[in-house]
Structure 1
């Protein structure tokens, strides 16, 4: 007979040895802890000759001002800035990193590097970029059924790659500032790493992860409800919270008893109004505008700009149909309605879909006296483009109703009036109707706005521009210093 008892005993003993060994290895290889008496001591040798020439951007100016007689400077605030997304397309997290470094902190920004990060991040010696290994592109899909099958494997991949980056490829920090969403698996991994390394977790709420998932699966889907519970549960382990709007602050408190400090987006210094000469130079410099520069400067054509991540929460079909209607009206009333150049900037999964839609509209001759083009620009060129435009357009619909698009903040920073989808709660926190912009809730609304604004020789646009210019005064650091600067205990009184 087969010796069942002896065999099972051997199996159990072997399993116990394997599990015990694995657990011991896990414990002995946990990430190193943050030393509460640690920090970073920097000497002048840390900076290159190029850094010394570029004092402000490299951080050498701060070092000179705060170094001790022995030639050393102490950086007590160390912060991991974490975004489970493309760093280059995460402006708010990049602004966090630059502000922390500017006022005496040392930063490691962790995320995907699919596009160029901000040049000030590349130049600053107190900011280090740690890339996360991305999920293989060949396994990504927009199919709903395949998405559900692949999603668990994607989450496992993200858990390991994020954990490895936060725990082993970066030094332990005093603070960890995490962008949310995405919530899964970011919040759980971040909490575990913070627990092991004795790091204080701060969540920066841009939106709700479960509300974005609901756009794909529906609000009552079991995964959406599970994601909602998970997001609320994980939020309780953080030391502090920031939220992008007052409305989000209120919802966090009501829904999960989370006390968040409102930290509104504001434009950074490079988003500025342009002079007439600067505008002319930019229009003739950019490939997308050079051909139409004479018409744009003469005012016979208008320049419209929109920025997008080309995702499902922005329905660009609405803009395209509105432009078709406007183009038809302009063709009938060419003496009162100008032509238009529409530039849509950004990268994302739906870009090719909409690019094909635009090609078909042109082939069908539905866009007379109107040109639509897409672009991906450097930060400086994008800022100058906004300053050169006549109208900015936002199609952000807000899955939660309480977030706001950064693109509108950037537009207002250059004095650019904004037309935007306004059917959500937080919209009035940014746009004062008829003062610095106007809202729309349908294709017909947008078409009417474009015809009204362009039919009076641009007088109404100038009125909106004056309102937008009044929003240029308050900048990112003005909002950031009394909230985040105080939390991280930085030297906010001077650089």
Structure 2
């Protein structure tokens, strides 16, 4: 016996201590709320919180219904003020990846994406396992990105007894395909996303078509609920006085304010991420077509065609290249301004527009651009690039128009902004009807029961 203990004693002690240490390191399990307590939800976005409006709206809706929220994401730009000031919402910023792990080119993606994912995985695991209190019973995560969020949250859910709710904005593999084309990594990511994405407690999708894809093509058996993007209350039509006041106060529009108010200039707005899936050349070509038409019309009869002030909002890697092209063009009746709007100014600029343009083409064909929802909230008609799911939002000839090429968009601008046409007025009436469909009412009906609110 002594010989046995002398030989095996140290290994047994080591294993015992290791197992004890493992048990001590396990995160605490979820503690259900008492009868008089509301649930606590962890809202996760592996991106900039300030540039993730839908997840901000989720957090605000949960808090409005009395729930507590831990909002996890990168603290890069300012979120909405009412979110920061809400005592029921706690900001839990993730540490940003080191600069050398940038994946903005295909080569850098292949070299550094695994290391970046590992950094994100460890930082998310630590925060979700040890910082988030055990009273949190749900994790609501945005997808994409799918790597590593789907795997991390599924592991955390199993360890802590939390329910995972996926808010499907798009499919991560389709976004990756835009960058890497037919690389084997794309197919690995598709299999990963399909396999791990099946295990959620509930799934929210932004379109019916996306829900059908999850059910029929991916074999998702858990509940799938279509939660359409709807405008929050801060996107609302402006009175003529409010419109004039903002146009006169903002540097991008101040010198055009009087001509916009009189109709001599039409205000067009387009929010873009300046990425390949939002081809700005469509809008640029359309504005060239309009400029040629306006030049001819005004040559024959001075003042017979309005000018266009095009406000382009957003940041992205292709911005500088396109703006250099804009500066080289000699527009006569078109002015293009690229601006970055703060969260308090963006809804007002949207409300001032005569027409919004969406260049979103969708990598999957089944998502919808939230920028269109914002425009409808302000009663502004939309010209949207046509693809599979866009008809779930933009009704051609009712609240907007759809186009497939820059030439089609250019012809539409001529038709809509021609003073002799009543088509823009009709589309605006249809867009104003969309202002009745709001985020809060839709969220209360579809999402609140999922969280027991």
Shorter-chain TM-score category?
A: over 0.9
Residue 329 (structure 1) shift: 2.6
For the Cα contact (< 8 Å) 1:81–1:178, is it kept in 2? yes
C-alpha spacing 1:391/1:75, structure 2 compared with 1 (3 Å): same
Taking the aligned partners of 1:86 and 1:105, their CA distance within structure 2 comes to: 23
2:354 aligned with 1:390? yes
Taking the TM superposition and a 5 Å limit, the aligned residue runs for 1:212-291 are 212-218=175-181, 220-258=182-220, 259-291=223-255
Structure 2 residue aligned with 1:195: 158
2:99 aligned with 1:131? no
- SS of equivalent residue, structure 1 residue 203: strand
Greater displacement, 328-337 / 435-444: 328-337
For the Cα contact (< 8 Å) 1:328–1:366, is it kept in 2? no
Structure 2 residue aligned with 1:344: 312
CA deviation digits over 1:242-272, x for unaligned, max 9? 1111111111100122241111110001111
> Which of 402, 414, 427 in structure 2 is aligned with 1:439?
402
- SS of equivalent residue, structure 1 residue 151: helix
Residue 470 (structure 1) shift: 0.7
- SS of equivalent residue, structure 1 residue 297: helix
CA deviation digits over 1:322-380, x for unaligned, max 9? 222322332222243321111111223x2xx3234323432x34322221112222333
C-alpha spacing 1:412/1:132, structure 2 compared with 1 (3 Å): same
Taking the aligned partners of 1:125 and 1:299, their CA distance within structure 2 comes to: 45
C-alpha spacing 1:300/1:222, structure 2 compared with 1 (3 Å): same
> Which of 174, 178, 200 in structure 1 is aligned with 2:137?
174
Structure 1 residue aligned with 2:4: none
C-alpha spacing 1:241/1:156, structure 2 compared with 1 (3 Å): same
2:369 aligned with 1:373? no
Taking the aligned partners of 2:180 and 2:17, their CA distance within structure 1 comes to: 41
Structure 2 residue aligned with 1:419: 383
- SS of equivalent residue, structure 1 residue 470: helix
Aligned residues: 439
- SS of equivalent residue, structure 1 residue 202: strand
Taking the aligned partners of 1:306 and 1:20, their CA distance within structure 2 comes to: 63
Taking the aligned partners of 1:97 and 1:467, their CA distance within structure 2 comes to: 30
- SS of equivalent residue, structure 2 residue 191: helix
Q: Give the TM-score of the pair, scaled to structure 2.
A: 0.92
Gaps of 5+ in 2: 1-6
- SS of equivalent residue, structure 2 residue 253: helix
Taking the aligned partners of 1:392 and 1:19, their CA distance within structure 2 comes to: 65
Structure 2 residue aligned with 1:32: 28
Structure 2 residue aligned with 1:53: none
Q: CA RMSD in A?
A: 2.1
Gaps of 5+ in 1: 1-9, 40-73, 491-495
For the Cα contact (< 8 Å) 2:268–2:311, is it kept in 1? yes
Residue 137 (structure 1) shift: 2.7
- SS of equivalent residue, structure 2 residue 203: strand
> Which of 423, 440, 444 in structure 2 is aligned with 1:460?
423
Structure 1 residue aligned with 2:169: 206
Structure 2 residue aligned with 1:430: 393
Taking the aligned partners of 1:137 and 1:420, their CA distance within structure 2 comes to: 36
Taking the aligned partners of 1:331 and 1:483, their CA distance within structure 2 comes to: 50
For the Cα contact (< 8 Å) 1:314–1:395, is it kept in 2? yes
Residue 221 (structure 1) shift: 2.5
- SS of equivalent residue, structure 1 residue 336: coil
> Which of 287, 305, 309 in structure 2 is aligned with 1:323?
287
Structure 2 residue aligned with 1:312: 276
Residue 310 (structure 1) shift: 2.5
Residue 17 (structure 1) shift: 8.9
Taking the aligned partners of 1:14 and 1:387, their CA distance within structure 2 comes to: 73
Residue 24 (structure 1) shift: 5.0
CA deviation digits over 1:121-153, x for unaligned, max 9? 111100001001111234314321222011111
Structure 2 residue aligned with 1:358: 323
C-alpha spacing 1:35/1:356, structure 2 compared with 1 (3 Å): same
2:73 aligned with 1:111? yes
For the Cα contact (< 8 Å) 1:304–1:342, is it kept in 2? yes
Structure 2 residue aligned with 1:44: none
Q: Which ranges of 4 or more aligned residues in structure 1 deviate by more than 4 Å?
A: 13-24
Greater displacement, 448-457 / 89-98: 448-457
Taking the aligned partners of 1:37 and 1:400, their CA distance within structure 2 comes to: 39
For the Cα contact (< 8 Å) 1:337–1:451, is it kept in 2? no
- SS of equivalent residue, structure 2 residue 252: helix
Taking the aligned partners of 1:127 and 1:430, their CA distance within structure 2 comes to: 31
Q: Give the TM-score of the pair, scaled to structure 1.
A: 0.85
